[in-house]
Amino acid sequence: MKGDFQMTTFSDRLKEAMYAQNLKQIDLVHIAAENNVKLGKSHVSQYVSGKTVPRNDILHFLADTLHVDADWLLGDSQENFTARENNSVAPKAPSTTKTSGSVGTSNSSKRGTTPMKKTITDKNDNDNAGSSAMHIFKKSSKLDNVLYDVRGPVVEEAARMEERGTHVLKLNIGNPAPFGFRTPDEVIYDMSQQLSDCEGYSPSQGLFSARKAIMQYSQIKKLPNVTISDIYTGNGVSELINLCMSALLDNGDEILIPSPDYPLWTACATLAGGKAVHYICDEQSDWYPDIEDMRRKITDRTKALVIINPNNPTGVVYDEATIKALAAIMEKKEKEFGTSIVLISDEPYRELAYGGVDVPFVTKFYHNAVVGYSYSKSLSVPGERIGYVVIPDEVDDSAALIGAATIANRVIGCVNAPSLIQKALQYCIQHDVTVDLATYEKNRNLIYGALTEYGFTCAKPDGAFYLFVKSPVEDEKEFCEVAKKHHVLVVPGSSFACPGYVRLAYCVSYEQIERSLPAFKEIAKEYGLCK
């Protein structure tokens, strides 16, 4: 808890000191550049938002720039804010002329000579300012633990680079469509024939035909006791994650989520008022869940436990023995606490498993199991937004859970998955239509073989289309910056609650991977991984 408190305190004091000096985030970046200090916009943003605190050298740079004591800025001092006199040479401001109150004006030139008493709550300042009084916007505390960098800063940086004319090798996001992974022709044809039938709202749980096809698929896979009423379609697994969290969690309820995680789980749990508790997935065991760590972290407040299988970001596929082991733990904890604990299996990559690897159906091994699936990857239709959740009758209070999901769906306002793609599901399921798995496997073999040859460390994935690579330096964001200099974009492991690693996606063209390999080899040489 001390770490969380320190980050919050540092963030608040940093903003207070920046306001007193009339400095914005970009001003700090410019001052750092003028003084040959490595400080990027993303770093400052994370400090201001309270996601992290700087290392010691950056802390002292910020303290000198803002003319405050480093201990106070970090939150180790309880003194009220007072800008200190600084007899040392302060970091120089950029020479660029700005408007009044910005860096480079006569106002900023006073820094280091006059103690400042200004605070963001100074009543006299506000009275004198009149209509121009500054009101500091603070984001909701519900967002403090919400990260979604997969589609945030990394994507924005790619856009900026391309605007400058830079060719970017995008290995940062699982979006196969731009790289030639087309939706099967059968799906396109089936949707084109049913356009006129898809103008109205879909029922809350989804079209009967779509849910019937999913039920038949469940029967083929020998899933027990799955009826049409147990199936709820939606706008991909992302929306269904949100629905499940809204339906399940009361304020303070705990939900166990893997580390590394898919950030949307932590985000949605937090926004629903729950507490995300991360259990360890062990790198030394090829990223399988640490069952003992899971056992220790289940409490009487635990409402649900999440697994992602096949896993994003590691690509591991949990075998039947692992599912049986965690099911046994959960059953024991249910009896110990007299509570129901739902096992949620997030399975958007179920059909993307290599070499005949089997993905177990959790409903066979645990009575309180819920399964979420998405066709975004198996049919290469991420833009069509279609997925489903199965809540079998044997789940405790399954009807109530379905009802809660229905209410949550209406509040979110998405109504349901687009009718057109729901119409196409029946054909796809009946004819076992999927994307070309062999292409993904070929990509996996190429990039995994090359990176390990260059000295990088990562587990060989059995499913999905991601590699989770150990960073050659402790700060994986530094590694991401080095990769960016070589025009390669990857996602830092801290975005998945697992710093020290990076995730890269190989759902790109084979040629794209080939073009990235010389860059990875040069990066490996820079870090001394190979000659």
331 within 8 A of 352, measured Cβ to Cβ: no
Question: What pLDDT, on a 0 to 100 scale, did the predictor assign at position 291?
Answer: 94
Cβ 288 vs Cβ 282: under 8 Å: yes
Tokens read off for 108: 């900023």
Mean pLDDT over residues 301-311, rounded? 95
- Does residue 80 register a pLDDT over 80? no
pLDDT class of 153 with cuts at 50, 70, 90: low
CA distance 434 to 439: 12
CATH classification number, 2-138, choose in 3.40.50.720, 1.10.260.40, 1.10.3720.10, 3.10.20.30: 1.10.260.40
Query: What gap in Å lies between CA 411 and CA 174, rounded to an integer?
Result: 28
Cross-strand pairs, 346: 308, 372
Please report the pLDDT score of residue 113 as a whole number.
35
Tokens for 408, please give them: 């949550």
CA distance 372 to 231: 10
Q: 390 forms bridges with which residues in the sheet?
A: 231, 371
Residue 303: closest CA among 335, 332, 276? 276
The Cα–Cα gap between 63 and 71 comes to 9
pLDDT at 117 over 60: no
Q: How confident is the model at residue 148, as a pLDDT?
A: 55
> Of 38-42, 275-279, 482-486, which gets the smallest average pLDDT?
38-42
Say if residues 247 and 405 touch (Cβ distance below 8 Å): yes
Please tell me the distance from the alpha carbon of residue 515 to that of residue 350, in angstroms, as a whole number: 29
* Location of each CATH 3.40.640.10 domain in the chain: 229-418
Q: Which CATH class is domain 229-418?
A: alpha beta
* pLDDT tens, residue by residue, 168-226: 676 766 665 554 555 556 666 555 555 555 555 666 777 777 888 888 878 777 776 78
At 385, the pLDDT band (50, 70, 90 cuts) reads low
Beta-carbon contacts of 477 under 8 Å, excluding residues fewer than 6 positions away, are 42, 492, 494
The answer on pLDDT for 128 being more than 50 is no
| CATH 1.10.260.40 domain locations along the chain | 2-138
Average pLDDT, the chain: 77
Residue 86 has pLDDT above 50, yes or no: no
* pLDDT, position 519: 94
Q: Kindly give the pairing relationship between strand 369-374 and strand 288-289.
A: unpaired
321 pLDDT band, cuts 50/70/90, is very high
- Reported pTM: 0.66
Residue 167 carries which DSSP code?
Answer: -
**With 70 as the cut, is the pLDDT of residue 165 above it?**
no
Q: Contact 503/490 with Cβ under 8 angstroms? A: yes
Q: Are 232 and 402 in contact (CB under 8 A)?
A: yes
Superfamily of domain 149-179+436-526: Aspartate Aminotransferase, domain 1 (3.90.1150.10)
Residue 507 has a pLDDT of 84
What pLDDT score was predicted for residue 423? 65
pLDDT at 408 over 90: no
**H or E, element range at 255:** strand 254-259
Res. 85: pLDDT tops 60 = no
340-383 per-position pLDDT tens digit = 999 999 988 888 899 889 899 898 899 999 988 877 666 655 55
SS3 content of the chain, % helix, strand, coil (to 5): 45, 10, 40
203 prior amide bond cis, ω within 30: no
Select, from the ranges 219-223, 398-402, 483-487, the one with the highest average predicted confidence (pLDDT): 483-487
Question: Whole-angstrom Cα distance, residue 457 to residue 468?
Answer: 9
Q: What is the mean pLDDT of residues 254-282?
A: 91
